[in-house]
Chains A and B, each alone.
Chain A
């Protein structure tokens, strides 16, 4: 076992953290702007991963290119689900009164549909492909090229997304919506369009993250669920709807998970993630960084 202070472990934690941050950002956007709790979020990771896998094995296109395709396809799914499902949910008074619960049921249904479609098309087998599998050494750290690439690309994309959300007009509108929905409409923000865009954008970056993940891990139709759970841990840790808090919490969970597994063993990985998840919900549902009111 590596020493806990080894840079090797730190690098692993960084990789997981960056991916988590990216994935949870998508979940947070969708929750923040619309109060929709997407339990199908991890399935978008899966879709992104399959897009990259197919592009690589059938068309010989590398994941660094196909990840944008994955983003487009997941973004399209965001648009589709908005038009078919969520526009109605968000405009129906009776359904709105229990919006979050209803959104959970709807996404639960979508998750089952997506996973089973994936099994129909790709079978339930685990798959993977070799890409940049040569070992790279940087100082004491030994990484496969793929993992190094994921770290760099993931960090760049995350930074780009954060800057985009911070400085673009769309990002500002989205932030306004997160802060105060009614006021946003009054100052002339087209709420419907921003909602649709955040669903597209949130789905898109998640698909992209999925493509990155496919470079390092085997993929399967049910691979998404743990990511859903992790993403929920993260956005709750960071405070629901708080994009920056979520980003930091993503990095934090990456560290917790990698070090936790190093201390206990790989079979404890799921228990660790779900355990943190359950404890956080019971003891600090308002998040570590938030200070809002608690459920009593």
Chain B
């Protein structure tokens, strides 16, 4: 397909999806909201874990922190500025935290990401307990169609960002880090800088997603905001779809959210089990994901393993 044609199609799709907000019912908007949320999350995950190879199993930490920052400044600043601020704050903090964290490589990083998310969650829990708060309701949040549109915007930005990074000089550097960090440094890739940047970029959008999400759920509870389920879903969606390029997570998310829609309300456990089995199967048998598999099969492109 020609690039210009692709672009036109993408724009038409986005305009259509945005237009839907005007007349669709709550149910459709709700599904759309969830799909966009996970697209934004999975695309962000891909920037760090898919391209750079630093697999994060604790990406919910950005989501939860964004939500927490947002709830702390709720009412003090205009809503959308608050969302923006939570993204910026989390991005800045991750630039600081990322420095020591990203020195930890390979499998150590993976388990570190896991533990770090739990550490932050417990710190927030303690902090909340000290202030004698167990949950914080969000009153007067914008209407669903507004949240829907905002989430759509984040999904578009996240997808565009991943798409662009994957094809940029920056992305080439990240992918070389994934393949062999020391060899990358040898040919001049400033690995520490690029990793840190990827880490922060990978955190900003999930933080804003977290902020918007609690407006939808109407409540902030630290246990829920930092639930490992979000990390798990993000990882699974990206891997099932294919984590080396932007179309991958897109495919994974649409597939899984529809499954979730069928199962989540009545059988959440069954949904999680199916998710687990899918992740097992894809890692073992289709490690390049749906997109990698499709492009290898039909376009003869060689894609790579995460």
Within the complex, are A and B direct neighbours (CB within 8 Å)? yes
- Asked if residues A104 and B273 are in contact (CB atoms below 8 Å), the reply is no
Q: In the bound complex, what is the Cα–Cα distance between A113 and B269 (angstroms)?
A: 9
Q: A257-290: contact bitstring with B at CB < 8 Å (1 yes, 0 no)?
A: 0000000000110110011011001100100000
- Asked if residues B232 and A282 are in contact (CB atoms below 8 Å), the reply is no
Asked whether any CB of chain A lies closer than 8 Å to the CB of B170, the reply is: no
- Asked if residues A271 and B55 are in contact (CB atoms below 8 Å), the reply is no
Residues of A within 8 A of B167 (CB): none
Q: B230-242: contact bitstring with A at CB < 8 Å (1 yes, 0 no)?
A: 0010011001000
Asked whether any CB of chain A lies closer than 8 Å to the CB of B275, the reply is: yes
Q: Which residue of B lies closest to A285 (CB)?
A: B108
Q: Which residue of A lies closest to B192 (CB)?
A: A296
Stretch from B64-72, B110-118, B147-155 that touches the partner: B110-118
Band of interface residues on B: 35 or more
Of A88, A89, A105, A111, which is within 8 A of B55 by CB? Answer: A105
Stretch from A14-22, A59-67, A92-100, A199-207 that touches the partner: A92-100
Asked whether any CB of chain A lies closer than 8 Å to the CB of B126, the reply is: yes
- Asked if residues B122 and A112 are in contact (CB atoms below 8 Å), the reply is no
- Asked if residues B284 and A85 are in contact (CB atoms below 8 Å), the reply is yes
Q: In the bound complex, what is the Cα–Cα distance between A271 and B222 (angstroms)?
A: 14
Chain A residues touching B, majority SS = helix
Q: How far is the CB of B237 from chain A (nearest CB, A)?
A: 13
Asked whether any CB of chain A lies closer than 8 Å to the CB of B306, the reply is: yes
Q: Which residue of A lies closest to B54 (CB)?
A: A101
Residues of A within 8 A of B24 (CB): none
Asked whether any CB of chain B lies closer than 8 Å to the CB of A135, the reply is: no
Residues of A within 8 A of B232 (CB): 108, 112
Q: Which residue of B lies closest to A228 (CB)?
A: B114
Asked whether any CB of chain A lies closer than 8 Å to the CB of B160, the reply is: no
Residues of A within 8 A of B57 (CB): 39, 104, 108
- Asked if residues B280 and A110 are in contact (CB atoms below 8 Å), the reply is yes
Known: A100-B106, A105-B279, A274-B118. A94 touches B273 (CB 8 A): no
Residues of B within 8 A of A105 (CB): 55, 235, 239, 279, 283
Q: In the bound complex, what is the Cα–Cα distance between A267 and B127 (angstroms)?
A: 11
Q: In the bound complex, what is the Cα–Cα distance between A285 and B102 (angstroms)?
A: 13
Q: Which residue of B lies closest to A102 (CB)?
A: B283
Q: In the bound complex, what is the Cα–Cα distance between A273 and B149 (angstroms)?
A: 41
Asked whether any CB of chain B lies closer than 8 Å to the CB of A196, the reply is: no
Known: A37-B107, A281-B104, A296-B103. A109 touches B276 (CB 8 A): yes
- Asked if residues A39 and B114 are in contact (CB atoms below 8 Å), the reply is yes
Known: A37-B107, A94-B287, A102-B283. A282 touches B272 (CB 8 A): no
Q: In the bound complex, what is the Cα–Cα distance between A46 and B275 (angstroms)?
A: 21
Q: In the bound complex, what is the Cα–Cα distance between A236 and B114 (angstroms)?
A: 15
Asked whether any CB of chain A lies closer than 8 Å to the CB of B193, the reply is: no
- Asked if residues B104 and A104 are in contact (CB atoms below 8 Å), the reply is no
Q: In the bound complex, what is the Cα–Cα distance between A236 and B126 (angstroms)?
A: 27
Known: A98-B305, A117-B273, A271-B122. A106 touches B283 (CB 8 A): yes
Asked whether any CB of chain B lies closer than 8 Å to the CB of A116, the reply is: yes
Known: A37-B111, A39-B114, A85-B284. A112 touches B275 (CB 8 A): yes
Of A113, A271, A282, which is within 8 A of B126 by CB? Answer: A271
- Asked if residues A98 and B306 are in contact (CB atoms below 8 Å), the reply is yes
Q: In the bound complex, what is the Cα–Cα distance between A236 and B221 (angstroms)?
A: 32
Known: A105-B279, A229-B118, A285-B104. A95 touches B110 (CB 8 A): no
- Asked if residues A295 and B106 are in contact (CB atoms below 8 Å), the reply is yes
Residues of B within 8 A of A115 (CB): 272
Residues of B within 8 A of A282 (CB): 100-101, 103-104, 112
Residues of A within 8 A of B106 (CB): 100-101, 295
A-B contact pairs, 30 of them (CB 8 A): A39-B111, A88-B284, A95-B283, A95-B284, A97-B305, A98-B305, A105-B55, A108-B232, A109-B236, A109-B275, A109-B280, A109-B283, A110-B280, A113-B272, A113-B276, A113-B277, A120-B270, A270-B118, A270-B122, A271-B123, A277-B112, A277-B115, A277-B119, A278-B112, A281-B111, A282-B100, A282-B112, A285-B108, A295-B104, A296-B103
